[in-house]
Amino acid sequence: MSSIDDFRSKLATDSAFAAAVKACSTPDAIVNAAKDAGIDLSHNDLAKAIAAGSPNLTDEDLESVSSGTIMAAALVK
């Protein structure tokens, strides 16, 4: 299983982890939360997870993702 798969699985099955990720306001914070949970998630992996989970992002959404403002919302469903 890839780190992205591990991350998504943990989000889906661990409500405390999902809440921690949702509270994150920066990409670094999300990567660190994943590492604290034992998942070796890189910034590149995080970007791939967001892109795969949100294929209909507008240019404005993408700008927000890059600044971290909607990152957690794009991941935690």
The predicted structure's pLDDT at residue 56: 60
Write a three-state SS string for the chain. Answer: CCHHHHHHHHHHHCHHHHHHHHCCCCHHHHHHHHHHCCCCCCHHHHHHHHHHHCCCCCHHHHHHHHHCCCHHHHHCC
* Span 10-43, pLDDT tens digits: 988 999 998 898 888 888 898 999 999 999 998 8
The predicted structure's pLDDT at residue 38: 95
